[in-house]
Amino acid sequence: MSGQARALIDSMPDQIATVASSLSFDEAFTLHHRAVFRTARAVLRDAALAEDVTQEVFLRLYRYQDSTPGEELLRPWLLRVTLNVARNTIRGQSRSMARDTVYSQETFGEGWKAPEEDYERRLEIEEARRALDKIKEPMRSCLLLKQQGLSYREIAETLSLKETNVGSLVARGRKQFARVFGKIGGVR
């Protein structure tokens, strides 16, 4: 501070002098906004949430301006508040996700899956059906019945085939399915 400013502050009453020597909210915001945002983003790894946290931190600074530390301790105070608010945000998100999961399971039962998982599963099933459609009979029927858990004898009786042929039909059907499904569904 210049000598003239110090002389002016010394001539003022004590209460006015402390306000004049401390940073205004706008100055504190300008000086420390970048550090607060970077700290929040480092903890949250999300720029949008970091903006929200930064806004909350400066809102707290504005509300509690009278009780915040002096100019030299303001930056550490802001960063400590930033860390606390960011951690609380993470905790809140975790609790929210847990509540949503419990609600979904209670509402939709144990078989509930997230919409993305359900969509991906339906896509896989559709790809498998298309691959099965490309397999010729009786290999397709043998493969489907084997997948249902039937024995070779039961498959032979169901499809009116010789029991000795069922094993080779199932093996060839599996190879053809793997080849066709790989082309349709891509390599996983």
Each residue of 47-99: pLDDT tens digit? 999 999 999 999 999 998 888 788 888 888 899 999 999 999 989 888 888 88
pLDDT at residue 40 tops 50: yes
Stronger pLDDT, 59 or 20, i.e. the higher one = 59
pLDDT at residue 19 above 50? no
The whole-angstrom separation of Cα 54 and Cα 80 is: 12
Write down the pLDDT at residue 21: 46
Query: What pLDDT sits at residue 18?
Result: 43
Segment 15-29 shows an average pLDDT of: 64
Q: How large is the average pLDDT for residues 172-180?
A: 89
Higher pLDDT, 7 or 63: 63
Structural domains in the chain plus CATH codes: 3-106 (1.10.1740.10), 115-185 (1.10.10.10)
Q: pTM for this one?
A: 0.46
Query: Is the bond into 138 cis (omega within 30 degrees of 0)?
Result: yes
Residue 108 above 60 pLDDT?
Answer: yes
How far apart CA 86 and CA 37 sit, in angstroms, is 10
Confidence check: pLDDT of 169 > 60: yes
Cα–Cα–Cα angle for 106, 112, 118, nearest 5°?
A: 155
Q: How far is CA 85 from CA 49, 82, 98, 106, 119, in A?
A: 11, 5, 20, 31, 36
Say yes or no to pLDDT of 107 above 80. Answer: no
Which helix (H) or strand (E) covers residue 136, if one does?
none
Assigned token pair, 157: 């009786």
